[in-house]
DNA sequence: CCTTGAACCTGCGGGC
DNA sequence: TGCCCGCAGGTTCAAG
């Protein structure tokens, strides 16, 4: 998936085209995603207007008239596309929403790690998928002191902690490596061992790398397409991710890869201390 | 409480 | 060509 910048990019793309549109018909498949799709989505959504789209962490929250929310999570391979008029159904399509103005929103997810849920908007604070999420990294309240508090006493590797959505949301495997490189901090450091200066650097690096990716329209690996079908292009700007063996942009020594928590970490052992 | 590792599922590219 | 392996942007759950 899509990490925060990609989800934010999708949110903006969908908002621009679908805000105000009224649901005409809904189709959904039978295969469960991370959890079963809500039953009778057709009757739940038909006739409602899409009033707004919000993002919390990597979740998209489609707000509908009548105080209802459709929650979408793209997992690793989820894609949302808008088409004009009918399109032949594709393998791994799971949800298709037709709007009265002729636009069609399709949720396709090969690996089925995504989520679709539906709830009354007022119940959001207690929603099991949303209730325990950490701070939003682009909020002004996400400060070095805040990050320090979230990492306090944690002995796990810093990179693994940054991907923990209870520590800070939206940072996934790519941007964790990228932020640590920018901050010049080793992914192997115990999470709770950062100095005030390092917390300041890392907080700034997280914000900067996410903002740059959003400004570039979200990154694109093999499964990701923006909501209008255009490919994002931030992947060309990765400084370390996916670049094992290539020269570090700062010092020229070789970028290395290691495995942490079952995921690949890319880093420069010379510049990241 | 914390940390680690496996599990969920499909597709793709590389090596033989 | 085909097969097997490792790898992929996320999250949850069990076990230590």
Strand C lies under 7 A from the Cβ of residue A75: yes
Among the listed residues A184, A263, A269, A270, the single catalytic one is A263
Residue A180's alpha-carbon distances to A162, A234, A270, in angstroms, are 9, 17, 13
Angle, helices A144-151 vs A196-215, to 10°: value is 110
Q: Say if residues A267 and A177 touch (Cβ distance below 8 Å).
A: yes
Residue A3 annotated to the active site: yes
Would you write out chain A's pLDDT as a tens digit for each of its 273 residues?
Answer: 599 999 999 999 899 999 999 999 999 999 999 999 999 999 999 999 999 999 999 999 999 999 999 999 999 999 999 988 788 999 999 999 999 999 999 999 999 999 999 999 999 999 999 999 999 999 999 999 999 999 999 999 999 999 999 999 999 999 999 999 999 999 999 999 999 999 999 999 999 999 999 988 876 554 555 555 555 556 667 999 999 999 999 999 999 999 999 999 999 999 999
Give the nucleotide at minimum CA-to-C1' distance from A164: C11
Which protein residue's Cα is closest to nucleotide B12 at C1'?
Answer: A222
Distance CA A128, CA A133 (A): 10
Could you identify the residue whose CA is nearest to the C1' atom of nucleotide B6?
A262
Using a cut of 0.85, tell me whether the model's pTM lies above it. yes
- The nt closest to A156 (CA vs C1′) is B3
Q: Which nucleotide is nearest to A163 (CA to C1')?
A: C10
Give me the CA A99–C1' C6 separation in Å, rounded: 42
3-state secondary structure at position A222: coil
Rounded to 10 degrees, the C-alpha dihedral A66/A126/A176/A140 comes to 70
Those residues whose beta carbons lie under 7 A from strand B are A 34, 77, 91-92, 110-113, 153-157, 160, 191, 222, 261-262
Residue A263 catalytic?
yes
Q: Which of A2, A5, A135, A187 is catalytic?
A: A2
């Amino acid at each position: 998936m899509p990490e925060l910048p990609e989800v934010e990019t999708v949110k903006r793309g969908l908002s621009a085209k679908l805000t105000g549109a009224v649901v005409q018909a809904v189709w959904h498949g039978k295969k469960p995603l991370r959890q079963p799709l809500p039953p009778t989505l057709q009757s739940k959504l038909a006739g409602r207007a899409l009033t707004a789209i919000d993002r919390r962490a990597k979740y998209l929250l489609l707000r509908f008239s009548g105080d209802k929310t459709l929650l979408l999570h793209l997992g690793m391979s989820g894609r949302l596309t808008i088409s004009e008029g009918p399109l032949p159904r594709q393998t791994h399509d799971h949800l298709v929403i037709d709007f009265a103005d002729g636009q069609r929103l399709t949720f396709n997810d090969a690996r089925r790690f995504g989520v679709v849920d539906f709830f009354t908007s007022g119940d959001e604070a207690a929603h099991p998928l949303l209730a325990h999420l950490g701070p939003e990294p682009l909020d002004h309240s996400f400060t070095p002191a805040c990050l320090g508090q979230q990492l306090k006493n944690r002995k796990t590797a810093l990179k693994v902690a940054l991907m923990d959505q209870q520590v800070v949301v939206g940072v996934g495997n790519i941007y964790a490596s990228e932020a640590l490189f920018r901050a010049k901090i080793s992914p192997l450091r115990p999470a709770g061992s950062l100095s005030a200066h390092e917390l300041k650097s890392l907080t700034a690096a997280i914000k900067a790398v996410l903002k740059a990716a959003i400004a570039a329209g979200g990154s694109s690996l093999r499964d990701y397409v923006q909501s209008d079908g255009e490919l994002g292009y931030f992947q060309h700007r990765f400084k370390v991710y996916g670049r094992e063996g290539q020269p570090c942009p700062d010092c020229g020594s070789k970028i290395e890869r290691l495995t942490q928590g079952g995921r690949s970490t890319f880093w420069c052992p010379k510049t990241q201390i």
